[in-house]
């Protein structure tokens, strides 16, 4: 990691503006149902307070508001309440993120921690508008990016603001790059990649980038059926991207040439209707049936491969894990990984992280990425604008 972090600069007496990822799920009563993204930001916030920062100003988005002003459903107010409880310190919550009133409030409030209202109430945020970025920058002396979940977006609060302030990474971004970076560039071997999720099209660049680096690639979930189709195996009514069958053939050919094992589903949990929980295990998928999970033979096959691994990267569930009838494959593999010793297990955010959380296995994994899209793009070998914009060491 060749970017400066908050440890590389003098923060005593300085105002810090920190981009955090407080995009947490809320229920219909606006109660937070999962506060992991808030707890993930605490080490950086607490370090800033211990280091004598005069003000710690936090900014985030939440959800997808229209960008035309305040919308109660997307207010960060519930986050301020939860943050206060976790920090055990008063948090000043402001009802906007730019403007003279915000500047004045930051100057006069007694609280050391300030949370600004949702950045995306302003269209200018996602447009990476220079004047909006400059306004955000005018609130502080130093910018810290600790929002890995939005690091793949060139927005005003992730990229634009770096034009106007010294800009460094927080501890969460440092940790993400350390784990994901070493897994990709310097893994303990054998390195096994587990890929799932609905669509091949979402993972093409990832597979291309990982074929030269991995020892084995396991493919499950909805994307597996396009690969099976490419091998001439009947998939019934299962998920298929017809226009990606040739690409699947190409990827299998590339893996073969590179000497990389590409492991596909051998048996299936099939049903006649997606909505139905009435299902059975089968070695084939007859016409009129579709597969929504991997069967027991496949689970054993995958576990045999994983038992030899020293590094595992997992991105995407292996079945429709949200429903108990089709969760066994994802759960079994997650529990198997959780029980391995001396193996680095990296869960690539998004649905994979949600699955591991559902099964209560977060503490048993080496690292769970806080950014679904960002971790995917990083693993694809893409440059993340929010990280590229930070000051080099």
Catalytic residues: 37, 199, 350, 373
Instruction: Determine contact, residues 215/192, Cβ cutoff 8 Å.
Output: yes
- Residue whose entry in the numeric block shows the structure tokens 């040739």: 246
Structure tokens at 195: 């890929």
Q: What gap in Å lies between CA 62 and CA 79, rounded to an integer?
A: 10
Burial class (CB in 10 A: 0-12, 13-18, 19+), 277: exposed
- 367 token code pair: 């690292």
Burial class (CB in 10 A: 0-12, 13-18, 19+), 28: exposed
Contact 384, 180 (CB under 8 A): no
């Amino acid at each position: 990691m060749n970017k400066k972090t908050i440890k590389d600069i003098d923060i005593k007496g300085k105002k810090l503006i920190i981009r955090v990822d407080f995009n947490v799920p809320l229920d219909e009563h606006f109660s937070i149902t999962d506060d992991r993204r808030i707890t993930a930001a605490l080490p950086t916030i607490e370090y800033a307070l211990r280091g004598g920062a005069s003000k710690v100003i936090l900014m985030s988005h939440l959800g997808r508001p229209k960008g035309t002003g305040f919308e109660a459903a997307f207010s960060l107010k519930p986050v301020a309440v939860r943050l206060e409880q976790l920090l055990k310190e008063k948090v000043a919550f402001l009802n906007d993120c730019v403007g003279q009133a915000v500047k004045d409030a930051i100057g006069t409030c007694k609280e050391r921690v300030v949370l600004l209202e949702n950045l995306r109430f302003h269209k200018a945020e996602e447009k990476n508008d220079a004047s909006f970025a400059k306004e955000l920058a005018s609130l502080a002396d130093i910018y810290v990016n600790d929002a890995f979940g939005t690091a793949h977006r060139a927005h005003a609060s992730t990229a634009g603001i770096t034009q106007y302030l010294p800009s460094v990474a927080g501890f969460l971004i440092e940790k993400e790059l350390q784990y994901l970076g070493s897994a990709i560039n310097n893994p303990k071997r054998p390195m096994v990649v587990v890929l799932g999720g609905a669509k091949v099209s979402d993972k093409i660049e990832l597979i291309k980038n990982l074929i030269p680096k991995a020892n084995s690639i396991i493919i499950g979930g909805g994307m597996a059926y396009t690969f099976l189709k490419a091998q001439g195996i009947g998939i019934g009514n299962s998920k298929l991207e017809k226009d990606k069958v040739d690409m699947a053939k190409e990827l299998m050919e590339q893996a073969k040439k590179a000497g990389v094992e590409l492991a596909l589903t051998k048996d299936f949990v099939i049903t006649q209707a997606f909505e139905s929980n009435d299902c059975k295990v089968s070695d084939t998928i007859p016409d009129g049936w579709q597969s929504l999970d991997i069967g027991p033979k496949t689970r054993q096959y995958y576990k045999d491969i994983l038992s030899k691994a020293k590094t595992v990267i997992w991105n995407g569930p292996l079945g429709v894990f949200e429903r108990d009838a089709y969760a066994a494959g994802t759960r079994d593999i997650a529990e198997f990984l959780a029980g391995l010793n001396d193996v680095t297990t990296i869960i690539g955010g998004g649905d994979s992280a949600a699955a591991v959380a559902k099964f209560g296995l977060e503490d048993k994994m080496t690292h769970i990425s806080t950014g679904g899209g960002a971790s995917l793009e990083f693993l694809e070998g893409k440059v993340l604008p929010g990280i590229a914009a930070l000051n080099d060491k």
